Amino acid sequence: MKHLVQLFAGLGLALMLSACSQQDAEETAAAVSTETAEEFVARANDELAELRRETGAAEWVRATYITGDTAIIAAAASARYAKWHSEMVQQALAYEGQQLDPTTRRAIELLKLSTTAPSPGDAAKRRELAEITTDIEGMYGAGKYCRTQNDCIPGSELEQLMADTRDYDELLEYWTGWRQIAVPMRDKYARFVELANEGARELGYGDLGEMWRSNYDMTPDAFEVEATKLWDQVKPLYEELHCHVRARLGEVYGKDKVPQDGPIPAHLLGNMWAQEWASLYELIVPYPGVGDIDVDSTLKKKNYSPQEMVRSAENFYVSLGMPRLPDTFWERSQFSKPGDREVICHASAWGLEGGNDLRIKMCIKQTYDELRTIYHELGHNYYQGAYKDQPPLFQSGAHDGFHEAIGDTITLSMTPGYLAEVGLVNASGEDPRATINRQMQMALDSIAFLPFAKLVDEWRWRVFSGRITPENFNQAWWDLRTKYQGITPPVARSEADFDPGAKYHIPANVPYSRYFLARILQFQFQRALCEIAGHDGGLATCSIYGSKEAGEKFYAMMASGQSEPWQDALEKLTGAQEMDATAIIDYYAPLMGYLEEQNQGRSCGW
């Protein structure tokens, strides 16, 4: 009942605001003519705080109650924000060329970049864009693979089946079945690109991709160069991992199904999108039975509830001197999939009310992968809580990769020593073979992910710029996946398909470079934090659990939010102003040696 009251209250507010929009516009126009840039920014912060309050509530309800009614409410809130953002950016143009203090100038620039889908100024197009984005995200959230009318499997269950199943044909069925949900998105997505590009051009950018790449305190071209540099640094490690995994899969499924000189069939890598391969560990483990990290068994044996799994992650952050999560977090979060309605199970962290109302949304299962995801998601929550005292325009990560890297860094400290200390595994000795086993398990997750994380946005950049057109959406998607990941679709795909839409972040319009950057930054952060904590030994054995000194430094960087260039925030923690992948190479040195040895005599590459 409480949620229904909130829904009607939100709808009433939207209607009231719509009725007053003409009066508001007239009052705003009068204010702008006399405002200084500093006064404009102050007003923008006040209005943004209220808008985020409304849109956050609407988006939360839409994600946790997928109905036609919540779609209307979410679309209305999205359209209202889009209208406000478009008008404020136009007003901000009045201050171009003026001498402004750095803080005011930064706030105005971030205002322009504070949406991932800028709306056109035309009201009808703005409304159309909001409806499209709501529709296609809802298609994904409600998506199921139906064998028959009464035999349907939702996405979260399919993901688990992909991880658990080892039958070639069964995997193929799940893989192709899930991708049927994306076919109806294709035309809508093409229209989304047209509208969002129009909105980006009205803000002064060539297209939406150029706008996204402008959000990194460097030029769009410089950011592309930076991403390529980072990929080139880690590419040799990925290629060795790919070669070894392909050889093992050839032994399992036969070299006729997994050719040893070409790409790997995409459905065999233990993940719906072949983006992370951790569930293949039992097939790839270098030294079976040595230093096993079987957290799944402990979670099931002790029957950890979803809340207990979340509490485990909270305890880690608290050990660093960070505050406990508020009571409202435990009252308002979604920890399990409800049995009475459709929800989006994809894990996400929410900092509503300007970071004063923290929540996560998940459908938690008793697995180590889910536990690691929880530790990651709480990184977002603690970041949101750390910068909640910043003005709304600065309430974000130093760049979006920072936001993802906070929790990823914490997962690096989930070492065997830490897991034993908190009772999730049995204590074991420092066997070098166990180190390689653990690094293999981690690399199947983090290193395997890097090329996928890079190509998702590269595909979109090309779509937004027109280099990829609707006529070759799918072919271009698979060309990039083969180029970077060395994988191939297991069955023929055509332009009747829309395989990009089967990945949440495409219909949800969530930029993906953040995940690529986060997997780089987490190792850079961890190396700095381990030095602060006084760790003595290899980077791979370091856990900062319990280090108040490391936690204080970490939290101080987080508290600055986006109030300064990311280079300055990075320097506060690491002493450097450039992102680099050398910490990854250092971390995985033992595994690299193992892979090179195993791959001797094999034909690597694709």
Contact 356, 333 (CB under 8 A): no
- Among residues 247, 505, 569, 583, the one annotated as catalytic is 505
- Among residues 304, 404, 458, 533, the one annotated as catalytic is 404
C-alpha to C-alpha distances, 589 to 228, 418, 598, 602, nearest whole angstrom: 22, 21, 14, 20
470, 475, 480, 485 alpha-carbon torsion, rounded to 10°: 140
Could you confirm whether 168 is annotated as catalytic?
Answer: no
Cα–Cα distance, 410 to 555 (Å, whole number): 12
Helices and strands (H and E) in the chain: how many: 26, 6
Copy the structure tokens of residue 439.
Answer: 């690094």
Q: How far apart are the first and last CA of the chain?
A: 57
HSE-up of 83 (CA within 13 Å, CB side)? 22
- Among residues 163, 347, 420, 589, the one annotated as catalytic is 347
- Among residues 85, 244, 376, 535, the one annotated as catalytic is 376
Could you confirm whether 346 is annotated as catalytic?
Answer: yes
Could you confirm whether 85 is annotated as catalytic?
Answer: no
Q: Which residues are registered as beta bridge partners of 351?
A: 358
pTM (predicted TM-score): 0.82
69-105 exposure pattern, b = at least 16 Cβ within 10 A, e = fewer: ebbbbbbbbbbbbbbbbbbbbebbeebeeeebeeebe
pLDDT along the chain (606 residues), means of 10: 35 37 46 81 96 94 93 91 88 90 95 89 91 93 91 93 96 97 96 96 93 95 95 97 98 97 97 96 92 86 96 98 97 94 92 96 94 96 97 96 94 92 81 89 94 98 98 98 98 97 95 93 96 93 96 96 96 93 92 97 95
Could you confirm whether 370 is annotated as catalytic?
Answer: no
Could you confirm whether 267 is annotated as catalytic?
Answer: no
Could you confirm whether 505 is annotated as catalytic?
Answer: yes
Query: Do strands 144-148 and 151-154 pair parallel, antiparallel, or not at all (unpaired)?
Result: antiparallel
SS3 54: helix
Cα–Cα distance, 21 to 79 (Å, whole number): 13
Could you confirm whether 535 is annotated as catalytic?
Answer: no
Res 430: pLDDT: 64
Could you confirm whether 377 is annotated as catalytic?
Answer: yes
